[in-house]
Structure 1
Amino acid sequence: MKTPQSVCVYCGSSSRVSDVYKQAAHTLGAGLAERGIQLVYGGGRVGLMGIVADAALAGGGQVVGIIPEHIQVKEVEHTGLTELHVVDSMHTRKRMMMDRSDAFVVLPGGLGTLDEAFEILTWKQLALHDKPVVVVDVDGYWQPFEALIDHMIAAGFCQPGHKRLYTTVASIDAVFPALAAQPEPVIAPETKWL
């Protein structure tokens, strides 16, 4: 795959986190802008979300935020973006983020980030898209996620091939080569039930 034109970044909205995660978000946002890759994200100004957006904007990048009304009314939306779309629901937000993106990067985050990561992987498993998904294991953050996937495979609820639905990298420097790599073929949806 050639370098994507737009990348959706899933990440946490908490600011009460280690500086190592904040630095990773900043480095990713700056790297996207430097490469002329548009950032698509959840539209917030707080936590890693705000940091990645601010870094991309500071580097002259294009940033598209998509935020549901029920979050926007709490005044946590980023008001300095290239585009800000206020939508009616989380479902609409996630669909629009998928449609606007050529690839996905998962930084550390909480329940919302985990929800988005699992949903985009499920959609890929079901052949609803075939876009690269890169999980950035900053400071070992996603090791429990990897262990959970291994556990699901061992228990028979996932197939070993499901680990090819995404690529895990240990640093932001490894994100861009991983994004440029050809995506693995999707496991045929019909084999899910066999």
Structure 2
Amino acid sequence: MNFLNIWKETTLIAVLIGFIVFVIALKIQITNKKNKNDPIRKSNARFVWRALLWSFFTAYLVFIPALTIFPLPSFNGPMPIHVWRNNIVLEVIAPIIRSARTAQEYLGYNDSTPLYLFLYNTIGNLLLLMPFVIFMRILITRRYTIIFVIALGISLLIESSQGLLCYLSGVQYRIVDINDVILNITGASIMILCLGLIDGMSYVLGRLTKK
């Protein structure tokens, strides 16, 4: 199964699951409409908006494995443990700097391929969990500590899964890199900071308007 087919199938699955979640979420909110004390259920438009958010959140969660785990490697037996250990990148930050320098050098030869790879890996890992923070904040909890811990857990789970699959398959199909975790958490932290500032400003403005 090639990369293009993975994206086609992932998109189809994400759309189907997102639609199912939308219908279920909308049904639940309409069923609970009689609860007049819940400010979320004051209008049908808000029902639809919240159901759509759940749909987008689910579709986003479907895409995370497609970006980080799939396509799966062919399994040829376990990788020798010493080889597997040597392929794990535990050097912090320096590989990112070297990758940026390599991209800069190749630009001098009019070759932008390393730059694209650098941007895809670095910016992609930085942005990966930002939507997760937003969806969690809107739909599930306002406690940023919980959001941060879950985001950290997801990032560690991704890298651990990649490492386990590399070992079991005997193929280094993904680079297991501690810097990916650092970038994931940095992006999540930036989004948490931004949302926290927005919450703080909203609180202050709310207090001022009440006066």
Interval containing the TM-score (normalised by the shorter chain):
under 0.3
Greater share of strand: 1
Greater share of helix: 2
Q: Which has the larger radius of gyration?
A: 2
Q: TM-score w.r.t. structure 2 length?
A: 0.25
